[in-house]
């Protein structure tokens, strides 16, 4: 090792404030652009806050796990979205009940779209969503790609990377995650990015989203702990790299 | 037209060289004033044009194909400068043709980036193509992985003679179903080696969960890589197995040797009597890695390995092929256009194998993204220094007496080579 202050890689895992169960939705078919990073960040930060993480995967055809505390889902290619479509519809009731019961959820890109009411492709065919979020998405020929900066009321400045051709508009049942300061976000007209509803955070941003935006990760974890244990007692994660990583990312070109 | 455009192009090439300028400008000039130049020059070659494309391994594989064909006495034109865009090809061509636009070669073997290959094959239909793999790389440029597969499919469809496909990459192997008329040949891998090639689809899947369907029945491959030893490899072709020494390191480089062998055999006529298999194998055993692809330099009497990492699969293979034990390690991550701007891919690589020794230094424009990534995999980070020159100097100073390894993205590697060229002999590519 170099003689300069070595960084302890992780906080001690000693405390045990209880188990939080994180379920990754469709990691086999909907995990593009590093969305695994979001699950990993949740797992580690749960630990760093002194709780015990349990990370489960839910794929097409699996029995749906019980006792879900947090749900995380990622983006996929068009082909991945077709593969999960029927299974997602079959699980719509379960997921909707969890959402209405304030289960914290993070859905990125493809699953953000499918958590909405529908996705209408360029050719006019309609892929139904599961209608948890009051949003609709229309496929376009234009691919929105690049670094994104979003001003949000709840999580401060959010940084990420977008790569999508579907354009999403929000209905009155949801509010935007924030307002785009660089990049495009939900669509090329209204300047909004993502959606918020109950304890659901929906966003187009990869990057992965959570590593450089730990405020969102801690929001999901705190809500999960509050639901399960009545309160959230935060630990002290070592976030020494987060500040400079955000500063450097914010300065990069689109 | 030809004499005029070639003369002008060569002149621009000279002037831009004098100015130390980019390699593609003269190609651009000729392309603009004489769009038929490349097609006229290349399609008249006795063996035509072979295009090598895919996400990983283009440069090393192209180099191997060239050396294999040269061992058979063929004169080969190739785009050696690493400028794997159409204009780069035109520029390289200008350096080789005589003033009347004639190229003294038997065959052209060209490495082309997937998207640029599509433009190229539209104007110059190749006689052969070799399609290596479709992996997550620069998706921010091409969109989705299925889109990249479509680009390769288009290259295959425009090929007039033989299409060589990777049997083990379902997205590439399935291209065969879309072809009519072309001769299709595969290169393949022994089942026992499949596990060393994680593909992107099972990257995050749970143990035992099925990968996406490959071909229901594996077609016979022209060349199969059977086993890989420390500095040797065993290939099977024409119904027999042969073992040969290898200078190349890393299983994925050696799998690309099977790819190169398949293409070279196609061009030379396969098992035909005029192919000298002994010299072919001899040439294969002598191929050295292309720059940055597992290349080892010497700095202050210690080896310094440069491992180019451009995408999650390449990084994972790099970590697997070059174990960390005993080495000082640096990781250099840039996010310039040629590297891809999206850093998401770092989260698709597992870094547990670096946990024991930690990482001494992290550098590049996205050094802190990398440091954050390592922290979440519980890999200790010695120091973070975004400035590559400063980080490299400190890494060499503090790693005295230890072998060193640097994992670097493309533009980070170019920067590191420029710095290294000040203290050791290294090929600098601009």
Per-residue pLDDT at B353: 92
- The one-digit pLDDT tens for each residue of chain B (430 residues) are 455 566 656 655 655 554 444 455 555 555 665 667 788 888 889 999 999 999 888 888 999 999 999 999 999 998 865 555 566 677 777 777 777 677 889 999 999 888 888 888 998 999 999 999 887 654 444 556 778 889 999 999 999 999 999 999 888 999 999 999 999 999 999 988 887 765 555 444 332 233 345 566 789 999 999 998 878 899 999 889 999 998 887 777 889 999 999 999 999 875 555 567 788 888 988 887 766 566 678 888 888 988 888 888 788 878 877 778 889 999 999 999 888 899 999 998 999 999 999 999 999 999 999 999 999 999 999 999 999 999 999 999 999 899 999 999 989 998 998 899 888 766 554 3
Highest mean pLDDT among A94-98, A109-113, B90-94: A94-98
The confidence score (pLDDT) of residue B209 equals 31
Average pLDDT over residues A39-65: 96
Nearest CA in chain A to B386: A248
Residue A10 scores a pLDDT above 50: no
Specify whether the CB–CB gap between A41 and A34 falls below 8 A.
no
Which residues of chain A are within 8 Å of residue B384 when distances are taken between CB atoms? 241, 244
Distance from the B191 Cα atom to the nearest Cα atom in chain A, whole angstroms? 23
Residue A247 C-alpha, separation from nearest chain B C-alpha, in angstroms: 9
Query: Annotated catalytic, A164?
Result: no
Q: Is B235 helix (H, G, I), strand (E, B) or coil?
A: strand
Partner residue opposite A28 with nearest CB, options B205, B378, B381: B205
Is the pLDDT confidence value at A84 over 50?
yes
Domain enclosing residue A54, as ranges: 19-251
Q: For position B327, what pLDDT does the model report?
A: 93
Contacts with A161 from chain B: Cβ below 8 Å: 140, 341-344
Give the closest-approach CA distance of A74 to chain B in angstroms. 12
Q: What is the pLDDT of residue B146?
A: 77
CATH code (residue A112): 3.40.50.880
- Asked if the Cβ–Cβ distance from B383 to A2 is below 8 Å, we say yes
Name B230's Cβ contacts closer than 8 Å, sequence gap at least 6: none
* Neighbour count for residue A46 (Cβ, 10 Å): 29
Residue A164, domain member (yes or no): yes
A222 at B interface, C-beta within 8 A: no
Contact B172, B230 (CB under 8 A): no
- Check A211 against B368: CB less than 8 A apart: no
Note whether A32 contacts B139, CB cutoff 8 Å. yes
- Is there a contact between B368 and A7 if contact means CB atoms under 8 Å apart? no
Confidence band of A245 (pLDDT split at 50, 70, 90): very high
Q: How many structural domains comprise chain A?
A: 1
Size of interface A-B (CB pairs under 8 A): 142
For residue B77, the 8-state DSSP code is: E
* Residue spans of beta strands (DSSP E) within chain A: 19-25, 52-58, 70-73, 105-108, 118-120, 126-128, 135-152, 156-170, 178-182, 192-193, 195-197, 200-203
pLDDT of res. B279:
87
Task: Determine, yes or no, domain membership for A1.
Answer: no
The verdict on residue A7 lying in a domain is no
What per-residue confidence (pLDDT) applies to B263? Answer: 96
Report d(CA B240, CA B271) in Å as an integer. 12
Contact call for B366 and A248, based on CB within 8 A: yes
For residue A154, give every residue at least 6 positions away whose Cβ sits within 8 Å of its Cβ, in sequence order, or none: A196, A215, A219
Nearest to B368 among A146, A147, A241 (CB): A241
Contact (CB<8Å) B209/A28: yes
How far apart are the C-alpha atoms of B381 and B371, rounded to whole Å?
7
> Distance (Å) from the C-alpha of residue B398 to the closest C-alpha of chain A?
7
User: B171-179: long-range contacts (C-beta < 8 A, 24 or more apart)?
Assistant: B171/B134, B171/B145, B171/B146, B172/B54, B172/B131, B172/B132, B172/B133, B172/B134, B173/B214, B173/B215, B173/B219, B174/B149, B174/B215, B175/B131, B175/B149, B176/B219, B178/B153
Q: How far out from the chain centre does Cα A102 lie? A: 15
The minimum CA-CA distance between A102 and chain B, rounded to whole Å, is 28
One-letter-per-residue 3-state SS of B93-118: HHHHCCCCCCCCCCEEEEECCHHHHH
CA Rg value for chain A: 18
- Minimum-distance CB partner of B146 among A10, A77, A247: A77
Q: Which residue is catalytic, options A164, A192, A206, A248? A: A206
**Mean pLDDT calculated for residue range A50-65:** 95
Is A213 part of any domain? yes
Residue A41 is assigned to a structural domain of this protein: yes
Contact B375 A207 (CB under 8 A): no
- What's the pLDDT at B22? 46
Q: In chain B, which residues have their Cβ closer than 8 Å to the Cβ of A245?
A: 368-369, 371-372
Do B344 and A78 lie within an 8 Å CB cutoff?
no
Portion 84-143 of A in contact with B at CB < 8 A: 143
Q: How far apart are CA B54 and CA B40, in angstroms?
A: 26
What is the Cα–Cα distance from B283 to B299, expressed in whole angstroms? Answer: 28
| A126 within a domain of the structure (yes/no) | yes
- Among candidates A40, A161, A244 on the partner chain, residue whose Cβ is nearest the Cβ of B344: A161
E strand residue ranges, B229-290? 232-237, 240-245
- Partners of residue B367 in chain A, C-beta under 8 Å: 248
Active-site residue among A49, A109, A164, A192? A109
What's the ipTM?
0.93
Is residue A2 in a domain? no
Whether residue A13 is contained in a domain is answered as: no
Nearest to B368 among A59, A207, A245 (CB): A245
The pLDDT mean for chain A works out to: 91
Residues A81, A110 contacting (CB under 8 angstroms): yes
So what's the pLDDT on residue A115?
A: 97
| CB within 8 Å of A89: residues ≥ 6 apart | A128, A130
Q: What is the pLDDT of residue B14?
A: 59
Spell out the domains of chain B, with CATH numbers in brackets. 36-196+212-286 (3.40.1190.10), 293-420 (3.90.190.20)
CA proximity to B350, closest of B242, B198, B123: B198
């Amino acid at each position: 090792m170099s003689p300069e202050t070595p960084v302890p890689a992780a906080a001690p895992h000693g405390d045990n404030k209880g188990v939080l169960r994180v379920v990754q939705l469709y990691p086999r078919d909907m995990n593009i652009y590093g969305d695994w990073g979001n699950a990993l960040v949740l797992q580690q930060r749960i630990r760093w806050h002194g709780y015990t993480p349990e990370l489960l995967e839910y794929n097409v055809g699996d029995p749906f796990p019980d006792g879900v505390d947090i749900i995380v889902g990622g983006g996929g290619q068009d082909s991945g979205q077709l593969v999960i479509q029927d299974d997602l519809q079959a699980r719509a009731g379960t997921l909707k009940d969890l959402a209405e019961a304030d289960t914290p959820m993070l859905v990125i890109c493809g699953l953000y779209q499918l958590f909405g009411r529908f996705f209408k492709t360029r050719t006019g065919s309609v892929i139904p969503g599961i209608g948890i979020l009051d949003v609709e998405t229309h496929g376009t020929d234009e691919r929105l790609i690049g670094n994104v900066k979003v001003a949000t009321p709840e999580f401060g400045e959010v940084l990420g990377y977008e790569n999508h051709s579907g354009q999403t508009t929000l209905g009155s049942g949801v509010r935007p995650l924030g307002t785009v300061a660089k990049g495009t976000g939900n669509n090329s007209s209204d300047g909004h990015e993502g959606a918020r509803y109950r304890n659901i955070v929906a966003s187009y941003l990869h990057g992965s989203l959570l590593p450089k935006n730990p405020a969102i990760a801690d929001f999901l974890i705190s809500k999960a702990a509050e639901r399960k244990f009545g309160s959230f007692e935060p630990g002290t994660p070592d976030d020494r790299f987060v500040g400079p990583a955000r500063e450097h990312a914010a300065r990069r070109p689109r | 037209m030809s004499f005029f455009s070639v003369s002008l192009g060569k002149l621009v090439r000279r002037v831009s060289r004098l100015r130390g300028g980019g390699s593609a400008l003269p190609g651009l000039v000729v392309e603009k004033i004489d769009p038929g130049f490349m097609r006229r020059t290349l399609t008249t070659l006795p063996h035509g044009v072979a295009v090598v494309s895919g996400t990983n391994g283009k440069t090393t594989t192209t180099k191997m194909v060239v050396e294999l064909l040269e061992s058979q006495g063929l004169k080969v034109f190739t785009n050696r400068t690493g400028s794997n865009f159409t204009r780069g090809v035109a520029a390289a061509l200008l350096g080789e043709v005589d003033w009347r636009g004639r190229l003294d070669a038997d065959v052209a073997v060209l490495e082309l980036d997937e998207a640029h290959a599509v433009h190229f094959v539209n104007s110059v239909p190749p006689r052969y193509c070799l399609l290596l793999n479709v992996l997550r790389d620069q998706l921010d440029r091409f969109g989705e992985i299925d889109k990249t597969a479509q680009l390769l499919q288009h290259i295959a469809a425009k090929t007039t003679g033989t299409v060589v496909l990777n049997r083990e990459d379902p997205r590439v192997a399935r291209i065969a179903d879309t072809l009519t008329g072309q001769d299709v040949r595969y290169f393949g891998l022994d089942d026992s080696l499949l596990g060393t090639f994680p593909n992107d689809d099972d990257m995050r899947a749970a143990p035992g969960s099925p990968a996406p369907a490959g071909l229901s029945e594996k077609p016979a491959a022209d060349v199969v890589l059977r086993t890989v030893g420390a500095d040797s490899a065993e290939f099977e072709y024409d119904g027999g197995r042969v073992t040969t020494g290898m200078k190349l390191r890393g299983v994925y480089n050696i799998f690309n040797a099977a790819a190169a062998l398949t293409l070279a055999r196609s061009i030379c006529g396969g098992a035909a009597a005029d192919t000298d298999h002994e010299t072919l194998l001899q040439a294969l055993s002598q191929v050295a890695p292309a720059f940055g692809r597992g290349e080892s330099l010497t700095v202050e009497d210690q080896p310094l390995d440069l491992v180019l990492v451009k995408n999650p699969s390449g990084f994972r293979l790099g970590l697997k092929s070059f174990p960390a034990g005993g080495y000082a390690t640096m990781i250099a991550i840039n996010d310039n256009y040629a590297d891809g701007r999206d850093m998401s891919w770092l989260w698709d690589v597992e870094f547990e194998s670096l946990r024991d020794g930690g990482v001494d230094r992290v550098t590049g424009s996205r050094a802190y993204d990398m440091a954050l990534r390592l922290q979440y995999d519980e890999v200790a980070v010695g120091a973070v220094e975004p400035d590559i020159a400063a980080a490299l100097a400190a890494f060499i100073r503090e790693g005295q007496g230890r072998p060193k390894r640097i994992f670097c993205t493309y533009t980070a590697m170019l920067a590191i080579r420029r710095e290294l060229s000040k203290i050791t002999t290294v090929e600098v590519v601009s």
